[in-house]
Structures are given as C-alpha cells and as structure tokens.
Amino acid sequence: MKRDAFLEELRGKLAERLEPDDLLAALSYYAEMIDDRVEEGFGEEEAVRSLGSTDDIAREVLGDAPRPAAETARESERGGYTRKTFVAEAAQITAVAVRDRDLAVELAPSEDGKVRVWYSESARDKYTVFVDANGLLAVVYESERKWFQYLGWNFAGREKLVVEVPAAFGRDVELTSSNAAIEAHDLHLHTLTAKSSNGGLTARNLQTDETLTLVTSNGAAAARNVRARKLHLHSENAALQLENAQIEGAARLETWNGTLRVKRTAAESLTATDKNGKIALEDVRVAEALSLSTSNGSIQLKNLEAAAIEARTGNASISLEDVRPRGDVLLYTCNDSIKGELRADARLYSVDSKTSNGTNLLPNRTEGQYRLVAHTANANIKLAFV
C-alpha cells in the first residue's frame, strides 16, 4: 500500500472516535514516520508495511484516546500527589460509575455543563478513568502498592475525588467508596446509587427520576431537599435522616442501631425499620400505608397524615400528636405506654385496646369501618380521638 492510501484507511478507522485535533495529530505522526523511513532509503510500500496493520494502529491510538485527549497537565502537587482533571462533553456520557477506596467522593454540578473528574494520583495511587463504547464514564481507584508500601506511607495530600456533571444531567450515577464519605448535591439525575461501608452518605438538593439509593454499614445516611420516584436509605449501625423530601412512590428506610428521623416529607408509602433505635416522624404525609417497626426504641409521630398506620415496638413507648389517619391504625408495644391523640371521627373506628397491669383510657367497641388496635402490657394506654 502507498502512503496516502494507508493514511486514508487509518483516517477511516479513527475519524469517528477522535476529536479533529487528535485525528490530525495521529495522522501527521504516521505520515512523518513513513516520510522519515523513505528518506532513510526504504521504499514507500516497505515503509508503510513496517508500521503494521491499520487495525492494530487504530486499537493502540483509540485504546489510549480518552485519557490523554482529556487530561490536562498537573494542577497542583502535594505530598507526592498530583491533582489531575479529566474532562468530557456531557453529550458523550450516558452514565457515571465511581469506585474509590479510603477517600471521600463528591458529586457536584459543573459550571460549564461539562463532565469533569478531579483526582489525586501518586506513584502508587492511580485511577483508571475511561469512557467505554456505551458512553459509561468509569473512574476506578487502583493501588499499585505492594503490601509493605502501606506501612508508614503517608496518605496526606490525597485530596477528595470530585465528579462534576451538568446540573440537569438526567443520567444514572453510581458512587462507591469503602471507608469514606460520599456526598451528592444540587443535581437532577435519572438514578443515584451511593454505597460505602464505613462512611456517611449525604444527598441534598437532589432530584432523581427513578430511585435514590444510599446504602452504608457503619456510617449515617441523610437525604435533604430531595425529590425522587423511589427512595431507599440503609445503614446498619448509624442514624438515618430524611428531611424535606417528596417521594412519588415508596420510601424505604432501614437501620439496626441508629435513630431514624423523617421530617417535612411526602411519600406514597413509607416503611421504616429499626432494631434498637428510635423512630421519629414530624410533618409527614403518606398517601397510602405507613409502616414502622423497631424493637427497643420509641416511636414518635407528630403532625402526620396517612391512609393506614402500623407501628410496632417493644420496651418503648408509642406517642401520637396531631395524627390524622384515613384508615386502620395498628399500634403494638409492651412494657411501655401508648399515648396521644388521633384526629379522626371516632364513629368510623372499631377499637381493640388492651393492656395488663396498666390503666386503659380507651373504651373498646366492635362497630366501625376502620380498625384501631392498641396493645401493650405492664403500661398505660392514654389514647383518645379528638
């Protein structure tokens, strides 16, 4: 093959995936290689042949394309760490996935509508940043440390990983960082999934068209000023907080050993499960079922509206203040009191209340469209319709 035919063939294999500047740089490079060989005495076709197939060349050039094309020179250097940036056009990115370790991650809106990743690398701490054929931007931490290089090695200077996307990105984003906090704010996404083991998770001023998911084991999870189709907050040993939220469908909150708080929130249904923590809801509207369950923590409901209410605990009290049910109300505990007021028409309710070794101020009745059940033992029931 002749020089120009070779370059034309190579152009065909690179043009779609490279920016015009990068395409020109690659073609000039190979043209120069051929010219230099010819100048040295090779025949034109021989010089072309020695470069190998255009398929292999395209693979090498494209395999490396996203990073150098978008990576800028170092921003700053501290403690052996270099701050780097990856930039891509938002239109090229269909989803974002981050896998980090031991380092906080922030997802924030970008000022210029581009997708940008800020990360710190050192000789031993590297990131693989690439965009795959489907437009998935992946940011993966890969330590090149040998085991002995963790000993006495200074991590100072390894700054937080920051991912910026346009405020109205509307895509799926998944963020994982074991042992560190994750924060996402001021964005509109399709879905957001944030996962950590020992770090706290925060979503604020955020909207998702589908599910907003925050899952951690030993850190707290909080969502404030959020709108989502569905919501899932999960922790094992820390508190969960949902504040000023509008959930079109189901909101699900689970923890084992932390307080669970929901404030100024509306949802189609809300399920909150705890084991040893308190559950507190204030200024909450649930269109359908509200289901609350814990074992050794109290349940406190204040200014709440729901179609059906079920609250279960043990060894702790259930208290109601300005609660407006539009269906069944089922309250179960033992060894502690059930108290407060239900804003509803008493004539609509059958009442099944019982305690032993306590005072019960709620008379039972059998007739009614809806059911009110209040069960405890060794404690008082001071519940009334107002």
Where does this chain touch other proteins (CB under 8 A) — which range of 51-59, 200-208, 224-232, 327-335?
Answer: 51-59
Residues 6 or more apart whose CB falls under 8 angstroms from that of 106 comprise: 160, 161, 162, 163, 182, 183, 184, 185
Stretch that binds other proteins, among 30-38, 183-191, 277-285, 309-317 (CB under 8 A): 30-38
48: contact with other proteins by CB under 8 A: no
| Stretch binding other proteins (CB under 8 A), from 12-20, 52-60, 133-141, 229-237 | 52-60
| Closest approach of other proteins to the CB of residue 124, in Å | 10
* Residues within window 144-173 making contact with other proteins, judged by CB under 8 A: 144, 148
User: Distance (Å, rounded) from C-alpha 373 to C-alpha 363?
Assistant: 11
Q: Is 52 in the site for other proteins (CB under 8 A)?
A: yes
| Among 332, 328, 324, residue whose Cα is nearest residue 354 | 332
Residues 102-121 that bind other proteins (CB under 8 A): none
Give buried/exposed letters for 294-309 (b at 16+ CB in 10 A, else e): beebbbbbbbbbbebb
Q: Among 26, 117, 238, 281, which residue interacts with other proteins (rule: CB under 8 A)?
A: 26
CB-count burial class (<10 Å; 0-12, 13-18, 19+) for 347: exposed
**What are the tokens at 112?**
């210029």
Rounded least distance, CB 46 to other proteins, Å: 14
Applying CB under 8 A, the span of 36-44, 154-162, 234-242, 321-329 interacting with other proteins comes to: 36-44
Which of 261, 269, 217, 219 is closest to 242 using CA atoms? 261
Residue 86: count other Cβ atoms within 10 Å of its Cβ: 22
CA angle at residue 24 from 73 to 166, to 5 degrees? Answer: 50
Exposed/middle/buried for 248, CB within 10 Å: 0-12, 13-18, 19+?
middle
Whose Cβ is closer to other proteins: residue 69's or residue 289's? 69
Q: According to the 3-state scheme, what is the secondary structure of 256-288?
A: CCCCEEEEEEEEEEEEEECCCCCEEEEEEEEEE
- Does the protein bind other proteins through residue 33 (CB under 8 A)? yes
Residue 89 binding other proteins, by CB under 8 A: no
- Counting residues that bind other proteins (by CB under 8 A) gives 29
Q: How far is the CB of 73 from other proteins (least distance, A)?
A: 4
- From residue 300 to residue 329, the character string flagging contacts with other proteins as x (rule: CB under 8 A) and all else as - is ------------------------------
Query: What is the smallest separation between the CB atom of 17 and other proteins, expressed in angstroms?
Result: 14
Q: Which of 21, 39, 112, 367 forms a contact with other proteins (CB under 8 A)?
A: 39
Q: Whole-number minimum distance, CB 340 to other proteins, in Å?
A: 58
Tokens of 5: 């035919």
Amino acid at the residue 196: S
Strands annotated E in 89-239? 95-101, 105-109, 115-121, 125-131, 136-143, 161-165, 172-178, 182-189, 191-195, 201-215, 221-234
| Closest distance to other proteins from the beta carbon of 39 (Å) | 7
Binding-residue pattern over the window 54 to 83 for other proteins, x denoting contact by CB under 8 A: --xx--xx-xx--xx--xxxx---------
For the record, the structure tokens of 179 come out as 């042992």
Is residue 19 a contact residue for other proteins (CB under 8 A)?
no
Given the rule CB under 8 A, which residues bind other proteins?
25-26, 28-30, 32-33, 35-37, 39-40, 51-52, 56-57, 60-61, 63-64, 67-68, 71-74, 123, 144, 148
